Structure 1
Amino acid sequence: MTKSKLTYTALITGASGGIGLELAELFAQQGHNLVLVARSEQKLEQLALQFAVRYKVYTKVIAKDLARPESPGEIFRELQQEGLGVDVLVNNAGFGNYGFFRDTELQKELDMMQVNMVALTHLSKLFLQQLPPGRHGKILNIASTAAFPPGPLMAVYYASKAYVLSFSEALAAELADEGITVTVLCPGATDTDFKENANLEGSGPFSQALMADARSVARAAYEGLMAGKVVVFPNLKDKLTPLLVNLAPRRMLRKAVLNIQKKRQ
Protein backbone atom coordinates (compact mmCIF):
# COMPACT_ATOMS: atom_id res chain seq x y z
CA MET A 1 0.00 0.00 0.00
CA THR A 2 1.60 3.25 -1.12
CA LYS A 3 1.37 6.23 1.21
CA SER A 4 -1.37 8.74 0.36
CA LYS A 5 -0.26 12.11 -1.03
CA LEU A 6 -3.25 13.79 0.67
CA THR A 7 -3.63 14.15 4.42
CA TYR A 8 -7.11 13.58 5.79
CA THR A 9 -8.67 13.85 9.22
CA ALA A 10 -10.66 10.66 9.77
CA LEU A 11 -13.30 10.23 12.46
CA ILE A 12 -13.63 6.55 13.39
CA THR A 13 -16.28 5.21 15.74
CA GLY A 14 -15.79 1.97 17.63
CA ALA A 15 -12.07 2.60 17.32
CA SER A 16 -10.87 0.81 20.45
CA GLY A 17 -10.88 -2.70 19.00
CA GLY A 18 -11.58 -5.02 16.08
CA ILE A 19 -12.05 -3.60 12.59
CA GLY A 20 -12.19 -0.04 13.94
CA LEU A 21 -8.80 -0.35 15.59
CA GLU A 22 -7.25 -1.85 12.46
CA LEU A 23 -8.73 0.93 10.32
CA ALA A 24 -7.36 3.55 12.70
CA GLU A 25 -3.88 2.10 12.37
CA LEU A 26 -4.14 1.95 8.58
CA PHE A 27 -5.12 5.63 8.44
CA ALA A 28 -2.28 6.50 10.82
CA GLN A 29 0.24 4.51 8.75
CA GLN A 30 -0.74 6.59 5.73
CA GLY A 31 -0.11 9.82 7.65
CA HIS A 32 -3.74 10.80 8.26
CA ASN A 33 -4.86 12.55 11.44
CA LEU A 34 -7.50 10.88 13.56
CA VAL A 35 -10.53 11.49 15.73
CA LEU A 36 -11.13 8.27 17.66
CA VAL A 37 -14.52 7.63 19.26
CA ALA A 38 -15.40 4.80 21.65
CA ARG A 39 -16.64 4.35 25.21
CA SER A 40 -13.23 3.59 26.73
CA GLU A 41 -11.20 6.79 27.11
CA GLN A 42 -8.22 4.91 28.54
CA LYS A 43 -7.90 2.62 25.52
CA LEU A 44 -8.22 5.55 23.14
CA GLU A 45 -5.58 7.57 24.97
CA GLN A 46 -3.17 4.63 24.73
CA LEU A 47 -3.81 4.40 20.99
CA ALA A 48 -3.31 8.14 20.54
CA LEU A 49 0.09 7.90 22.24
CA GLN A 50 1.11 4.88 20.14
CA PHE A 51 0.12 6.56 16.87
CA ALA A 52 1.91 9.78 17.82
CA VAL A 53 5.13 7.87 18.51
CA ARG A 54 4.97 5.44 15.57
CA TYR A 55 3.42 7.52 12.82
CA LYS A 56 3.74 11.16 13.94
CA VAL A 57 0.03 11.86 13.43
CA TYR A 58 -2.34 13.98 15.51
CA THR A 59 -5.04 11.97 17.27
CA LYS A 60 -7.98 13.47 19.12
CA VAL A 61 -9.82 11.24 21.58
CA ILE A 62 -13.56 11.55 22.25
CA ALA A 63 -15.04 9.09 24.75
CA LYS A 64 -18.74 8.73 23.96
CA ASP A 65 -21.37 6.03 24.16
CA LEU A 66 -23.28 6.10 20.87
CA ALA A 67 -26.25 4.40 22.51
CA ARG A 68 -26.96 7.86 23.94
CA PRO A 69 -28.97 9.88 21.39
CA GLU A 70 -27.07 13.05 22.38
CA SER A 71 -23.62 11.67 21.53
CA PRO A 72 -23.36 12.46 17.79
CA GLY A 73 -24.26 16.11 18.34
CA GLU A 74 -21.84 16.36 21.26
CA ILE A 75 -19.02 14.92 19.14
CA PHE A 76 -19.41 17.46 16.34
CA ARG A 77 -19.93 20.39 18.69
CA GLU A 78 -16.63 19.53 20.37
CA LEU A 79 -14.90 19.39 16.99
CA GLN A 80 -16.42 22.73 15.95
CA GLN A 81 -15.25 24.37 19.17
CA GLU A 82 -11.70 23.31 18.32
CA GLY A 83 -12.00 24.30 14.66
CA LEU A 84 -11.31 20.72 13.60
CA GLY A 85 -12.87 19.62 10.31
CA VAL A 86 -13.38 15.99 9.32
CA ASP A 87 -12.69 14.71 5.79
CA VAL A 88 -13.48 11.02 6.32
CA LEU A 89 -16.22 9.53 8.49
CA VAL A 90 -15.97 5.85 9.41
CA ASN A 91 -19.17 4.54 11.03
CA ASN A 92 -17.75 1.35 12.46
CA ALA A 93 -19.43 1.13 15.88
CA GLY A 94 -22.07 -1.57 16.16
CA PHE A 95 -23.04 -4.74 17.97
CA GLY A 96 -25.38 -7.71 17.76
CA ASN A 97 -27.48 -9.92 19.97
CA TYR A 98 -28.47 -13.58 19.67
CA GLY A 99 -31.72 -15.21 20.70
CA PHE A 100 -35.44 -15.50 20.01
CA PHE A 101 -36.82 -11.97 19.69
CA ARG A 102 -39.64 -12.72 22.15
CA ASP A 103 -37.08 -13.57 24.84
CA THR A 104 -34.24 -11.12 24.25
CA GLU A 105 -33.72 -7.95 26.28
CA LEU A 106 -35.63 -5.04 24.80
CA GLN A 107 -33.24 -2.34 26.01
CA LYS A 108 -30.26 -4.05 24.40
CA GLU A 109 -32.07 -4.13 21.08
CA LEU A 110 -33.17 -0.51 21.36
CA ASP A 111 -29.54 0.40 22.08
CA MET A 112 -28.47 -1.71 19.08
CA MET A 113 -30.82 0.18 16.79
CA GLN A 114 -29.54 3.46 18.20
CA VAL A 115 -25.88 2.56 17.61
CA ASN A 116 -26.16 0.56 14.39
CA MET A 117 -28.63 2.80 12.57
CA VAL A 118 -29.61 6.05 14.29
CA ALA A 119 -26.15 7.21 15.39
CA LEU A 120 -24.71 6.22 12.00
CA THR A 121 -27.37 8.30 10.24
CA HIS A 122 -26.99 11.23 12.64
CA LEU A 123 -23.20 11.29 12.29
CA SER A 124 -23.47 11.10 8.50
CA LYS A 125 -25.83 14.09 8.44
CA LEU A 126 -23.56 16.16 10.70
CA PHE A 127 -20.48 15.15 8.70
CA LEU A 128 -22.00 16.33 5.43
CA GLN A 129 -23.21 19.58 6.97
CA GLN A 130 -19.74 20.47 8.28
CA LEU A 131 -18.06 20.02 4.88
CA PRO A 132 -17.45 23.44 3.27
CA PRO A 133 -18.96 23.85 -0.24
CA GLY A 134 -16.78 22.16 -2.83
CA ARG A 135 -14.78 20.20 -0.28
CA HIS A 136 -14.56 16.51 -1.04
CA GLY A 137 -15.17 13.91 1.63
CA LYS A 138 -15.57 10.19 2.22
CA ILE A 139 -17.93 8.05 4.30
CA LEU A 140 -17.31 4.41 5.19
CA ASN A 141 -20.19 2.51 6.79
CA ILE A 142 -19.76 -1.00 8.16
CA ALA A 143 -22.62 -3.31 7.22
CA SER A 144 -22.31 -7.11 6.97
CA THR A 145 -23.21 -10.06 4.81
CA ALA A 146 -26.09 -10.22 7.31
CA ALA A 147 -27.56 -7.29 5.34
CA PHE A 148 -28.77 -9.61 2.58
CA PRO A 149 -30.86 -12.45 4.12
CA PRO A 150 -33.45 -12.32 6.90
CA GLY A 151 -31.89 -13.26 10.25
CA PRO A 152 -33.99 -15.45 12.53
CA LEU A 153 -32.50 -15.48 16.07
CA MET A 154 -30.69 -12.22 15.27
CA ALA A 155 -33.67 -10.44 13.76
CA VAL A 156 -32.87 -6.89 14.86
CA TYR A 157 -29.16 -7.11 14.02
CA TYR A 158 -29.74 -8.43 10.49
CA ALA A 159 -32.41 -5.79 9.90
CA SER A 160 -30.09 -3.03 11.14
CA LYS A 161 -27.38 -4.06 8.70
CA ALA A 162 -29.89 -4.19 5.84
CA TYR A 163 -30.66 -0.57 6.69
CA VAL A 164 -26.96 0.37 6.64
CA LEU A 165 -26.50 -1.20 3.21
CA SER A 166 -29.59 0.43 1.69
CA PHE A 167 -28.89 3.83 3.25
CA SER A 168 -25.27 3.79 2.09
CA GLU A 169 -26.06 2.88 -1.50
CA ALA A 170 -28.77 5.54 -1.70
CA LEU A 171 -26.49 8.19 -0.22
CA ALA A 172 -23.72 7.22 -2.65
CA ALA A 173 -26.08 7.87 -5.56
CA GLU A 174 -27.18 11.24 -4.13
CA LEU A 175 -23.61 12.45 -3.67
CA ALA A 176 -22.04 10.97 -6.79
CA ASP A 177 -21.74 14.34 -8.57
CA GLU A 178 -20.45 16.24 -5.54
CA GLY A 179 -17.05 14.64 -5.10
CA ILE A 180 -18.20 12.89 -1.92
CA THR A 181 -17.98 9.10 -1.93
CA VAL A 182 -19.89 6.64 0.25
CA THR A 183 -18.56 3.13 0.73
CA VAL A 184 -20.26 0.28 2.58
CA LEU A 185 -18.28 -2.73 3.80
CA CYS A 186 -20.04 -6.10 3.90
CA PRO A 187 -17.84 -8.58 5.79
CA GLY A 188 -18.79 -12.05 6.92
CA ALA A 189 -17.80 -13.49 10.29
CA THR A 190 -14.67 -11.68 11.48
CA ASP A 191 -12.39 -12.40 14.41
CA THR A 192 -13.29 -9.54 16.78
CA ASP A 193 -15.04 -9.28 20.15
CA PHE A 194 -18.39 -9.11 18.29
CA LYS A 195 -19.01 -12.81 18.80
CA GLU A 196 -18.59 -12.63 22.58
CA ASN A 197 -20.77 -9.53 22.90
CA ALA A 198 -23.51 -11.13 20.79
CA ASN A 199 -23.27 -14.53 22.56
CA LEU A 200 -22.10 -16.22 19.35
CA GLU A 201 -19.00 -18.04 20.54
CA GLY A 202 -18.54 -21.61 19.37
CA SER A 203 -20.11 -23.21 16.34
CA GLY A 204 -21.38 -22.03 12.98
CA PRO A 205 -19.74 -19.26 10.93
CA PHE A 206 -18.05 -17.95 14.08
CA SER A 207 -15.88 -21.02 14.50
CA GLN A 208 -12.22 -20.00 14.42
CA ALA A 209 -11.53 -21.75 11.12
CA LEU A 210 -14.21 -19.81 9.23
CA MET A 211 -13.56 -16.30 10.52
CA ALA A 212 -11.57 -13.68 8.62
CA ASP A 213 -8.95 -11.69 10.51
CA ALA A 214 -9.80 -8.09 11.33
CA ARG A 215 -6.65 -6.68 9.68
CA SER A 216 -7.41 -8.12 6.23
CA VAL A 217 -11.04 -6.97 6.46
CA ALA A 218 -9.94 -3.47 7.46
CA ARG A 219 -7.41 -3.34 4.61
CA ALA A 220 -10.10 -4.26 2.07
CA ALA A 221 -12.33 -1.54 3.54
CA TYR A 222 -9.58 1.09 3.45
CA GLU A 223 -8.57 0.31 -0.13
CA GLY A 224 -12.19 0.26 -1.30
CA LEU A 225 -12.87 3.57 0.45
CA MET A 226 -9.87 5.27 -1.11
CA ALA A 227 -10.80 3.90 -4.55
CA GLY A 228 -14.34 5.29 -4.21
CA LYS A 229 -16.06 1.91 -4.40
CA VAL A 230 -19.66 1.78 -3.21
CA VAL A 231 -19.96 -1.83 -1.95
CA VAL A 232 -16.90 -3.71 -0.71
CA PHE A 233 -16.65 -7.42 0.09
CA PRO A 234 -13.41 -8.39 1.86
CA ASN A 235 -13.12 -11.79 0.14
CA LEU A 236 -14.73 -14.10 -2.41
CA LYS A 237 -16.75 -16.00 0.21
CA ASP A 238 -18.43 -12.78 1.32
CA LYS A 239 -19.04 -11.72 -2.28
CA LEU A 240 -20.91 -14.96 -2.98
CA THR A 241 -23.42 -14.34 -0.17
CA PRO A 242 -25.73 -11.90 -2.03
CA LEU A 243 -25.57 -14.08 -5.14
CA LEU A 244 -26.72 -17.13 -3.19
CA VAL A 245 -29.37 -15.09 -1.37
CA ASN A 246 -30.81 -13.86 -4.67
CA LEU A 247 -30.97 -17.36 -6.09
CA ALA A 248 -32.75 -18.99 -3.14
CA PRO A 249 -36.52 -18.74 -2.66
CA ARG A 250 -37.26 -16.52 0.36
CA ARG A 251 -39.10 -19.31 2.21
CA MET A 252 -36.13 -21.62 1.82
CA LEU A 253 -33.75 -18.83 2.79
CA ARG A 254 -35.56 -18.06 6.04
CA LYS A 255 -35.53 -21.71 7.03
CA ALA A 256 -31.86 -22.18 6.09
CA VAL A 257 -30.70 -19.19 8.16
CA LEU A 258 -32.83 -20.32 11.09
CA ASN A 259 -31.24 -23.78 11.01
CA ILE A 260 -27.73 -22.28 10.85
CA GLN A 261 -28.51 -19.99 13.76
CA LYS A 262 -29.99 -22.80 15.87
CA LYS A 263 -26.73 -24.74 15.61
CA ARG A 264 -25.08 -21.97 17.63
CA GLN A 265 -27.16 -22.75 20.71
Structure 2
Amino acid sequence: MAEVLEQFLVCVGLLVCLLCLGKCLGLCRRVLPSCWPALPGGFLRSMGQWAVVTGAGDGIGKAYSLQLAKQGLNVVLISRTLEKLQAVATEIEQTTGRSTRIIQTDFTRADIYESIQEELAGLEIGILVNNVGMLPSLLPTHFLSTPDEIQALIHCNITSVMKMTQLVLKHMESRRKGLILNISSGVALFPWPLYSLYSASKAFVCTFSKALRAEYKDKGIIIQVLTPYAISTSMTKHLNTNVITKTADEFVKESLNYITSGDATCGCLAHELLASFLGLIPACIFYSRWSQRLLLTHYTEYLKQNVRAH
Protein backbone atom coordinates (compact mmCIF):
# COMPACT_ATOMS: atom_id res chain seq x y z
CA MET A 1 0.00 0.00 0.00
CA ALA A 2 2.82 2.40 0.91
CA GLU A 3 4.58 1.73 -2.41
CA VAL A 4 1.38 2.42 -4.37
CA LEU A 5 0.86 5.68 -2.49
CA GLU A 6 4.48 6.68 -3.10
CA GLN A 7 4.17 6.01 -6.85
CA PHE A 8 0.90 7.96 -6.92
CA LEU A 9 2.50 10.98 -5.23
CA VAL A 10 5.47 10.82 -7.61
CA CYS A 11 3.11 10.81 -10.60
CA VAL A 12 1.17 13.75 -9.16
CA GLY A 13 4.43 15.64 -8.58
CA LEU A 14 5.58 15.01 -12.14
CA LEU A 15 2.21 16.13 -13.48
CA VAL A 16 2.38 19.36 -11.46
CA CYS A 17 5.91 20.01 -12.75
CA LEU A 18 4.80 19.45 -16.34
CA LEU A 19 1.83 21.80 -15.89
CA CYS A 20 4.09 24.49 -14.41
CA LEU A 21 6.56 24.04 -17.25
CA GLY A 22 3.74 24.36 -19.77
CA LYS A 23 2.53 27.58 -18.13
CA CYS A 24 6.07 28.99 -18.15
CA LEU A 25 6.52 28.14 -21.82
CA GLY A 26 3.14 29.66 -22.62
CA LEU A 27 4.05 32.85 -20.77
CA CYS A 28 7.42 33.04 -22.56
CA ARG A 29 5.71 32.63 -25.89
CA ARG A 30 3.28 35.46 -25.11
CA VAL A 31 5.83 37.78 -23.52
CA LEU A 32 8.69 37.11 -25.96
CA PRO A 33 7.18 36.54 -29.41
CA SER A 34 10.55 37.33 -30.97
CA CYS A 35 11.78 33.94 -29.68
CA TRP A 36 9.44 32.27 -32.15
CA PRO A 37 9.68 32.54 -35.94
CA ALA A 38 8.04 35.64 -37.39
CA LEU A 39 5.01 35.27 -39.62
CA PRO A 40 6.07 34.33 -43.14
CA GLY A 41 5.91 37.15 -45.68
CA GLY A 42 2.46 37.26 -47.20
CA PHE A 43 0.90 35.18 -44.39
CA LEU A 44 -1.97 37.58 -43.78
CA ARG A 45 -2.56 38.06 -47.49
CA SER A 46 -2.69 34.28 -47.94
CA MET A 47 -5.85 34.14 -45.81
CA GLY A 48 -7.92 35.75 -48.57
CA GLN A 49 -8.41 38.87 -50.65
CA TRP A 50 -10.50 40.86 -48.17
CA ALA A 51 -10.39 41.82 -44.50
CA VAL A 52 -13.50 42.95 -42.63
CA VAL A 53 -13.05 45.33 -39.69
CA THR A 54 -15.86 46.49 -37.40
CA GLY A 55 -15.54 49.83 -35.61
CA ALA A 56 -13.18 50.83 -38.41
CA GLY A 57 -13.77 54.58 -38.33
CA ASP A 58 -11.40 55.33 -35.47
CA GLY A 59 -8.93 53.96 -32.93
CA ILE A 60 -8.00 50.28 -32.98
CA GLY A 61 -10.32 49.49 -35.87
CA LYS A 62 -8.79 52.17 -38.06
CA ALA A 63 -5.28 51.01 -37.14
CA TYR A 64 -6.08 47.39 -38.07
CA SER A 65 -7.62 48.52 -41.35
CA LEU A 66 -4.49 50.44 -42.31
CA GLN A 67 -2.10 47.69 -41.24
CA LEU A 68 -4.00 44.96 -43.07
CA ALA A 69 -4.15 47.10 -46.21
CA LYS A 70 -0.37 47.55 -45.97
CA GLN A 71 -0.13 43.75 -45.84
CA GLY A 72 -1.90 43.58 -49.21
CA LEU A 73 -5.54 43.02 -48.28
CA ASN A 74 -8.55 44.95 -49.48
CA VAL A 75 -10.65 46.15 -46.54
CA VAL A 76 -14.37 46.34 -45.75
CA LEU A 77 -14.81 49.15 -43.25
CA ILE A 78 -17.87 48.90 -41.00
CA SER A 79 -18.91 51.53 -38.47
CA ARG A 80 -21.57 54.11 -37.63
CA THR A 81 -20.09 57.44 -38.76
CA LEU A 82 -19.95 57.77 -42.54
CA GLU A 83 -17.52 60.70 -42.57
CA LYS A 84 -14.92 58.78 -40.54
CA LEU A 85 -15.29 55.71 -42.76
CA GLN A 86 -14.82 57.79 -45.88
CA ALA A 87 -11.70 59.41 -44.44
CA VAL A 88 -10.18 56.00 -43.55
CA ALA A 89 -11.08 54.60 -46.98
CA THR A 90 -9.42 57.54 -48.73
CA GLU A 91 -6.28 57.17 -46.59
CA ILE A 92 -6.05 53.44 -47.34
CA GLU A 93 -6.53 53.87 -51.07
CA GLN A 94 -4.05 56.75 -51.35
CA THR A 95 -1.31 55.23 -49.16
CA THR A 96 -1.57 51.54 -50.04
CA GLY A 97 -3.45 51.34 -53.34
CA ARG A 98 -5.79 48.70 -51.92
CA SER A 99 -9.54 48.67 -52.52
CA THR A 100 -12.08 49.46 -49.82
CA ARG A 101 -15.78 49.09 -49.24
CA ILE A 102 -17.83 51.01 -46.70
CA ILE A 103 -20.79 49.70 -44.71
CA GLN A 104 -22.41 52.31 -42.51
CA THR A 105 -24.37 50.70 -39.68
CA ASP A 106 -25.10 50.96 -35.96
CA PHE A 107 -24.00 47.91 -33.98
CA THR A 108 -26.18 48.89 -31.01
CA ARG A 109 -29.11 47.59 -33.09
CA ALA A 110 -29.99 43.93 -33.66
CA ASP A 111 -31.63 44.19 -37.10
CA ILE A 112 -28.55 45.06 -39.18
CA TYR A 113 -27.00 41.72 -40.10
CA GLU A 114 -29.13 40.79 -43.10
CA SER A 115 -28.03 43.94 -44.91
CA ILE A 116 -24.39 43.39 -43.87
CA GLN A 117 -24.57 39.86 -45.26
CA GLU A 118 -25.82 41.22 -48.58
CA GLU A 119 -22.97 43.73 -48.71
CA LEU A 120 -20.37 41.02 -48.04
CA ALA A 121 -21.79 38.54 -50.55
CA GLY A 122 -19.26 37.30 -53.10
CA LEU A 123 -16.16 38.58 -51.29
CA GLU A 124 -13.29 36.22 -50.43
CA ILE A 125 -12.96 37.22 -46.79
CA GLY A 126 -9.76 35.98 -45.20
CA ILE A 127 -9.64 38.08 -42.03
CA LEU A 128 -12.32 39.36 -39.66
CA VAL A 129 -11.50 41.82 -36.87
CA ASN A 130 -14.36 42.07 -34.38
CA ASN A 131 -13.32 45.36 -32.84
CA VAL A 132 -16.47 47.42 -32.36
CA GLY A 133 -17.38 48.02 -28.72
CA MET A 134 -18.64 50.55 -26.23
CA LEU A 135 -17.58 51.49 -22.71
CA PRO A 136 -20.43 52.84 -20.54
CA SER A 137 -18.07 55.01 -18.48
CA LEU A 138 -14.32 55.51 -18.55
CA LEU A 139 -14.38 56.39 -14.86
CA PRO A 140 -14.95 53.55 -12.35
CA THR A 141 -18.66 53.51 -11.52
CA HIS A 142 -21.03 51.44 -9.42
CA PHE A 143 -23.45 49.37 -11.51
CA LEU A 144 -26.57 51.33 -10.49
CA SER A 145 -24.85 54.59 -11.41
CA THR A 146 -23.79 53.34 -14.86
CA PRO A 147 -25.55 54.98 -17.84
CA ASP A 148 -28.64 52.94 -18.73
CA GLU A 149 -27.37 51.53 -22.02
CA ILE A 150 -27.51 47.84 -21.15
CA GLN A 151 -29.26 46.60 -24.28
CA ALA A 152 -27.13 48.77 -26.57
CA LEU A 153 -23.96 47.51 -24.89
CA ILE A 154 -25.05 43.86 -25.23
CA HIS A 155 -25.73 44.34 -28.95
CA CYS A 156 -22.47 46.21 -29.53
CA ASN A 157 -20.06 44.17 -27.39
CA ILE A 158 -21.61 40.70 -27.58
CA THR A 159 -24.14 40.29 -30.40
CA SER A 160 -21.82 41.89 -32.95
CA VAL A 161 -19.07 39.32 -32.26
CA MET A 162 -21.42 36.35 -32.59
CA LYS A 163 -23.28 37.55 -35.67
CA MET A 164 -20.27 38.82 -37.62
CA THR A 165 -18.43 35.58 -36.87
CA GLN A 166 -21.44 33.59 -38.02
CA LEU A 167 -21.57 35.51 -41.32
CA VAL A 168 -17.89 35.04 -42.13
CA LEU A 169 -16.92 31.73 -40.52
CA LYS A 170 -19.03 29.51 -42.78
CA HIS A 171 -17.10 30.68 -45.85
CA MET A 172 -13.76 30.35 -44.06
CA GLU A 173 -14.69 26.78 -43.15
CA SER A 174 -15.46 25.90 -46.76
CA ARG A 175 -12.10 27.36 -47.87
CA ARG A 176 -10.30 25.81 -44.85
CA LYS A 177 -8.44 29.00 -44.04
CA GLY A 178 -9.06 32.29 -42.27
CA LEU A 179 -8.18 34.49 -39.32
CA ILE A 180 -10.59 35.97 -36.78
CA LEU A 181 -9.32 38.47 -34.21
CA ASN A 182 -11.76 39.35 -31.44
CA ILE A 183 -10.88 42.44 -29.42
CA SER A 184 -11.78 41.98 -25.77
CA SER A 185 -10.15 43.78 -22.82
CA GLY A 186 -7.79 43.22 -19.93
CA VAL A 187 -10.72 43.75 -17.56
CA ALA A 188 -12.21 40.53 -18.97
CA LEU A 189 -9.44 38.34 -17.52
CA PHE A 190 -11.23 38.37 -14.16
CA PRO A 191 -14.25 40.29 -12.79
CA TRP A 192 -13.55 43.99 -12.25
CA PRO A 193 -15.67 45.79 -9.64
CA LEU A 194 -16.78 49.26 -10.77
CA TYR A 195 -16.48 48.14 -14.41
CA SER A 196 -18.87 45.22 -13.92
CA LEU A 197 -21.01 45.58 -17.04
CA TYR A 198 -18.13 46.19 -19.44
CA SER A 199 -15.98 43.51 -17.80
CA ALA A 200 -18.75 40.92 -18.09
CA SER A 201 -19.47 41.71 -21.73
CA LYS A 202 -15.81 41.40 -22.66
CA ALA A 203 -15.48 38.18 -20.65
CA PHE A 204 -18.10 36.72 -22.99
CA VAL A 205 -15.85 37.58 -25.93
CA CYS A 206 -12.96 35.69 -24.28
CA THR A 207 -15.00 32.57 -23.54
CA PHE A 208 -16.69 32.52 -26.95
CA SER A 209 -13.39 32.98 -28.79
CA LYS A 210 -11.53 30.24 -26.92
CA ALA A 211 -14.36 27.74 -27.37
CA LEU A 212 -14.66 28.59 -31.06
CA ARG A 213 -10.92 28.17 -31.59
CA ALA A 214 -11.11 24.65 -30.16
CA GLU A 215 -14.00 23.84 -32.49
CA TYR A 216 -12.35 25.09 -35.69
CA LYS A 217 -8.59 24.81 -35.17
CA ASP A 218 -8.49 21.57 -37.20
CA LYS A 219 -10.18 23.31 -40.13
CA GLY A 220 -7.36 25.74 -40.90
CA ILE A 221 -8.94 28.71 -39.11
CA ILE A 222 -7.07 30.81 -36.54
CA ILE A 223 -9.27 32.42 -33.90
CA GLN A 224 -7.64 34.61 -31.27
CA VAL A 225 -8.94 36.92 -28.57
CA LEU A 226 -6.93 40.00 -27.59
CA THR A 227 -7.19 41.44 -24.09
CA PRO A 228 -5.39 44.81 -24.04
CA TYR A 229 -5.50 47.25 -21.17
CA ALA A 230 -5.33 51.00 -21.78
CA ILE A 231 -5.24 52.14 -25.42
CA SER A 232 -5.51 55.84 -26.24
CA THR A 233 -8.63 56.12 -28.43
CA SER A 234 -11.80 58.17 -28.53
CA MET A 235 -13.47 55.53 -26.31
CA THR A 236 -10.87 56.17 -23.60
CA LYS A 237 -11.08 59.93 -24.16
CA HIS A 238 -7.61 59.98 -25.76
CA LEU A 239 -5.68 59.21 -22.59
CA ASN A 240 -2.11 60.45 -22.54
CA THR A 241 0.21 57.69 -23.67
CA ASN A 242 2.97 56.19 -21.54
CA VAL A 243 4.68 52.82 -20.98
CA ILE A 244 1.31 51.16 -20.29
CA THR A 245 -1.12 53.28 -22.30
CA LYS A 246 -0.41 52.65 -25.98
CA THR A 247 -1.55 54.41 -29.11
CA ALA A 248 -3.81 52.35 -31.35
CA ASP A 249 -1.10 52.16 -34.03
CA GLU A 250 1.52 50.93 -31.54
CA PHE A 251 -0.79 48.28 -30.16
CA VAL A 252 -1.96 46.97 -33.54
CA LYS A 253 1.54 46.72 -35.03
CA GLU A 254 2.78 44.77 -32.00
CA SER A 255 -0.32 42.58 -31.75
CA LEU A 256 0.22 41.20 -35.25
CA ASN A 257 3.40 39.54 -33.92
CA TYR A 258 1.27 37.46 -31.55
CA ILE A 259 -1.12 35.86 -34.05
CA THR A 260 0.46 32.41 -33.73
CA SER A 261 1.10 32.66 -29.96
CA GLY A 262 -2.10 30.95 -28.84
CA ASP A 263 -5.82 31.40 -28.31
CA ALA A 264 -5.46 34.54 -26.17
CA THR A 265 -2.99 37.38 -25.82
CA CYS A 266 -2.88 40.89 -24.42
CA GLY A 267 -1.34 41.92 -27.73
CA CYS A 268 1.72 43.77 -26.45
CA LEU A 269 4.56 43.13 -24.03
CA ALA A 270 3.66 45.87 -21.54
CA HIS A 271 0.13 44.57 -21.15
CA GLU A 272 1.27 40.95 -20.85
CA LEU A 273 3.53 41.96 -17.95
CA LEU A 274 0.72 44.00 -16.36
CA ALA A 275 -1.68 41.05 -16.63
CA SER A 276 0.91 38.76 -15.03
CA PHE A 277 1.37 41.21 -12.15
CA LEU A 278 -2.37 41.67 -11.56
CA GLY A 279 -2.80 37.91 -11.57
CA LEU A 280 -0.52 37.70 -8.51
CA ILE A 281 -2.80 39.91 -6.38
CA PRO A 282 -4.88 37.78 -3.98
CA ALA A 283 -8.62 37.94 -4.62
CA CYS A 284 -9.28 39.05 -1.03
CA ILE A 285 -7.24 42.19 -1.72
CA PHE A 286 -8.40 42.82 -5.28
CA TYR A 287 -12.10 42.68 -4.30
CA SER A 288 -11.73 44.48 -0.98
CA ARG A 289 -13.42 47.76 -0.07
CA TRP A 290 -9.97 49.31 0.12
CA SER A 291 -9.26 48.39 -3.49
CA GLN A 292 -12.58 49.81 -4.64
CA ARG A 293 -11.94 53.05 -2.75
CA LEU A 294 -8.55 53.25 -4.47
CA LEU A 295 -10.24 52.98 -7.87
CA LEU A 296 -12.90 55.55 -7.00
CA THR A 297 -10.39 58.10 -5.71
CA HIS A 298 -6.82 57.83 -6.95
CA TYR A 299 -7.51 56.05 -10.24
CA THR A 300 -10.41 58.38 -11.05
CA GLU A 301 -8.16 61.37 -10.41
CA TYR A 302 -5.43 59.85 -12.59
CA LEU A 303 -7.89 59.38 -15.46
CA LYS A 304 -9.22 62.93 -15.17
CA GLN A 305 -5.70 64.36 -15.24
CA ASN A 306 -4.65 62.30 -18.26
CA VAL A 307 -7.64 62.76 -20.54
CA ARG A 308 -6.78 64.96 -23.48
CA ALA A 309 -9.29 67.50 -24.78
CA HIS A 310 -10.47 66.78 -28.34
Output the TM-score relative to the length of structure 2.
Answer: 0.75
Alignment correspondent of 2:74: 33
2:263 counterpart letter in structure 1: V
CA distance in 2, matches of 1:25, 1:41: 17
Which of 152, 169, 173 is the equivalent residue of 1:128? 169
Which of 69, 83, 86 is the equivalent residue of 1:45? 86
Which of 143, 159, 168 is the equivalent residue of 1:118? 159
Change in 2 beyond 3 A, CA 1:172/1:2: closer
Report which of the two structures shows the higher radius of gyration computed on alpha carbons. 2
What CA deviation, in whole Å up to 9, does each residue of 1:177-202 have, x standing for no partner? 00001011111101111123xxxx8x
Contact 2:184 2:225 in 1 (8 A): yes
Change in 2 beyond 3 A, CA 1:136/1:102: same
Between the two proteins, the alignment pairs up a number of residues equal to 253
1:122 counterpart letter in structure 2: K
Deviation at 1:240, TM superposition (A): 3.1
Alignment correspondent of 1:250: 283
Contact 1:191 1:213 in 2 (8 A): yes
What CA deviation, in whole Å up to 9, does each residue of 1:79-112 have, x standing for no partner? 22xx223211100011212322112222x23211
Contact 1:12 1:37 in 2 (8 A): yes
Alignment correspondent of 2:124: 85
Which ranges in structure 1 are unaligned for 5 or more consecutive residues? none
After superposition, residues 129-168 of structure 1 pair within 5 angstroms as 129-131=170-172, 133-168=174-209
What CA deviation, in whole Å up to 9, does each residue of 1:203-239 have, x standing for no partner? xxx55434112111111223333x3642222333321
Change in 2 beyond 3 A, CA 1:148/1:260: farther
Moved more, 140-149 or 97-106: 97-106
CA distance in 2, matches of 1:157, 1:122: 19
CA distance in 2, matches of 1:253, 1:60: 45
Output the TM-score relative to the length of structure 1.
Answer: 0.86
Question: % of aligned pairs identical?
Answer: 28
Change in 2 beyond 3 A, CA 1:221/1:73: farther
Alignment correspondent of 2:253: 219
Moved more, 94-103 or 237-246: 237-246
CA distance in 2, matches of 1:48, 1:2: 27
Which ranges in structure 2 are unaligned for 5 or more consecutive residues? 1-38, 302-310
After superposition, residues 132-211 of structure 1 pair within 5 angstroms as 133-196=174-237, 208-209=241-242, 210-211=244-245
Contact 2:60 2:233 in 1 (8 A): yes
CA distance in 2, matches of 1:16, 1:214: 12
CA distance in 2, matches of 1:11, 1:43: 16
CA distance in 2, matches of 1:223, 1:250: 32
Contact 1:148 1:245 in 2 (8 A): no
Change in 2 beyond 3 A, CA 1:172/1:260: farther
Moved more, 20-29 or 248-257: 248-257
SS at match of 2:51: strand
Alignment correspondent of 1:101: 143
